[in-house]
Amino acid sequence: MRVFKFGGASCNSIERIQNLPTILNKYRDEQIVMIISAMGKTTNALEIVAQEYYKGNCLKSVELLNEIKQLHLTTSQSLLKTSFNICAEKLQEYFIETEKLLHSEKVYEYDFYYDQIVSIGELLSTCIISFYLNEVGINNHLLDVRTILKTDDNYREATINWNATQQQIAAYPFHQSLTITQGFIGSTPKNFITTLGREGSDYTAAVFANLLNAESLTIWKDVDGVMNADPKSINDAQLIHELSFNEVIEMSYYGAQVIHPKTIKPLQNKGIPLYVKSFINIDNAGTVISAKAVNNLPPIIVVKTNQVLIHLHTKDFSFVGEEPMAALYKIFSTVKIKPNLIQTGAISIQICLDNWEEKIEQLKQLTAHLFNIDITTQLQLLTIRHYTNELKNNMLANKDVLLIQQSKETFQALYLS
C-alpha cells in the first residue's frame, strides 16, 4: 500500500491532469490511495465566496460561485469524451448544495460557513479526476472522505478523532488497486463539513498512511523536492535530498509551506518514509524524509508574509508576571491562535501573528482589560535555520527591522514588508 498526495498545482490545468496517468501507470500493480487537493487557486476563490456571503452579499457570492462552476464544467468537458454528462450531474449536486447555503440565513460563526463552502473544491477536483482516469483505463473507486475522516467541530482547524476514523477505515474495502479521495476535509459526528487548516491535504495523506500502515507516502509537487528556500523568491534555492523528521518538524513550525505542520507526526510514529517528488520530472529521486539523522544541512530560509505585530503594554505599568501571562495563554487557547513569535519585556509583550482579522479582533477584546494595545500590520517574518552571519545580514539589508530573536540554530527577524 502506497499513499500518494497530489496538490492543487498538479491538477490546475487540463495538461497536468492528463499527466497523472503517466505517474500512476508506473505503479499499476500496486495498491494506491490517492489524496487530491482542489484544483489550482480554487480554494482562494471559494474563500472569497465565503467572505461575500458572510458580509451579506448573497448575489455577489452566487455570482462568484457560478464562475467556479463554469471553470470546472469546462475542464471536465475538455477531458471527458463518454462520461461528461454523468460527471456534470455529480458536479451540479455539489454546487446546488452550496448555492442553498448561500441563500440561507446566517446562524453560525464565520468559520462554520467557511468550511461548508470552501470544502467543495476537493469534492469537485476528485470527481473530475476519477471520471477521467476511468475513461483512460485506470480503474478507480471514488471515496467521499467525509464518511471516513471524523473530527471535532473546531471549524477551519479541526482535530481528527483517531478512533472513529480508524473504525471507518477498517470497515472500508481498500482492496481496489486505486482509491481516490479528498484531502483537507472531514466531518463532525453531526455530518457538518470541517477543514484541517490550509495545506491540510498533506495531513490527510499522513493520516491515511498511518492508519493503513502504508509502505510510504509520496507528495507530488511542482518542484523537484524539498528546497532550502522558496525558489519563487530565492534565486539560488537548493534541493535537499535527505531530511530527518525532526528537521522537517522544525521547518514546518516556522512556516515552511512544503509540508503541513501536522503531517510528520503520524508518519514518524510508525516510521513511514515521506517522499517529495516532482510530477513534472517523475524519474528524479526528489527528497526522502525519514527517522535518519542528516548532518551538514544548508541554511533553510522561511519567509512568512501578511504578519501582524501586537504590542501589549500593562495598563498600570506593573510587571508582566505569571498571572498576566497565564491569562494571555488562556486567551490564545480560547481564540484558537498560535503566535509565530513572542518577546516579553518588564511591562510589555510583543506577539507576531498571522493576519487573521476576526481572531485578532477577538484577541483585542479579550485582552483589553489587561493591556493597552498597539498593532502594526504589513509585516514579514524571516526565519533561517542553520544560519550564517553573512546570510542573515544579506537578507536584512535595507529592511526596517522591528524584532529579532535568535538561538544557536535559528534566527528570526520581523520587518516591514
Which range, of 148-162, 215-229, 253-267, averages the lowest pLDDT?
A: 253-267
> Which residue(s) pair with 106 in the sheet?
none
132-141 pLDDT, tens digit each: 999 999 999 9
Residue 233: which pLDDT band, with cuts at 50, 70 and 90? Answer: confident
Pairwise CA distance, residues 136 & 129, whole Å: 11
Q: How confident is the model at residue 197 (pLDDT cuts 50, 70, 90)?
A: confident
Tell how many helices (H) and how many strands (E) occur in the chain. Answer: 13, 18
pLDDT single digits (tens) 347-374: 999 999 999 998 999 999 999 988 999 9
- Identify the CA nearest to 130 among candidates 86, 98, 173: 86
Q: What percent of the chain has pLDDT over 70?
A: 100
Q: How far apart are CA 22 and CA 303, in angstroms?
A: 34
Residue 210: predicted pLDDT: 98
pLDDT at position 320 over 90? no
Extract the C-alpha cell encoding 297. Answer: 544541512
pLDDT at residue 323 greater than cutoff 90: no
pLDDT of 168 reads 96
Average the pLDDT over 303-310 and give the result. Answer: 95
Q: How confident is the model at residue 257 (pLDDT cuts 50, 70, 90)?
A: confident
Mean pLDDT of 285-301: 95
- The interaxial angle of helices 120-135 and 58-79, nearest 10 deg, is 10
Q: What is the pLDDT of residue 86?
A: 98
- Residue 177 — pLDDT band, cuts 50, 70, 90? confident
Amino acid at 228: N
Q: What is the pLDDT of residue 240?
A: 96
Least confident of 26-40, 111-125, 308-322: 308-322
Instruction: Give the range among 71-75, 236-240, 256-260, 380-384 with minimum mean pLDDT.
Output: 256-260
**pLDDT at residue number 352:** 96
Count of C-beta atoms within a 10 Å radius of residue 293? 10
Pairing of β 178-182 and β 141-142: parallel
pLDDT at 407: 95
Closest to 110 (Cα-Cα) out of 342, 359, 283: 359
pLDDT of residue 245: 93
Q: Residue ranges per domain, the chain?
A: 2-290, 300-416
pLDDT of residue 101: 97
Per-residue pLDDT of 393-404, as tens digits, reads 999 999 999 999
Instruction: Say which residues have a Cβ less than 8 Å from residue 178's Cβ, sequence separation at least 6.
Output: 24, 31, 32, 34, 133, 138, 139, 140, 141
What's the rounded mean pLDDT across residues 284-305? 95
Per-residue confidence (pLDDT) for residue 372, from 0 to 100: 92
The average pLDDT across 186-192 equals 97
Q: 307 φ, ψ to 5°?
A: -100, 160
Interior/surface letters 41-54, b for 16+ CB within 10 angstroms, e for the rest: ebbebbbebbbbbb
Question: Is the pLDDT assigned to residue 293 strictly greater than 90?
Answer: yes
- For the domain with range 2-290, which CATH number is right: 3.40.640.10, 3.20.20.370, 3.30.200.20, 3.40.1160.10? 3.40.1160.10
Is pTM beyond 0.85? Reply is no
**Mean local confidence (pLDDT), 219-247:** 92
Is 300-416 a domain of CATH 3.30.2130.10? yes
pLDDT > 90 in the chain, percent: 84
From CA 157, how far away is CA 7, in angstroms rounded? 19
The model's confidence at residue 327, banded by pLDDT at 50, 70 and 90, is: confident
| pLDDT at site 235 | 86
- Mean of per-residue pLDDT scores for the chain: 94
| 2-290 and 300-416 share one fold | no
Query: Number of C-alpha atoms within 13 angstroms, CB side, residue 240?
Result: 24
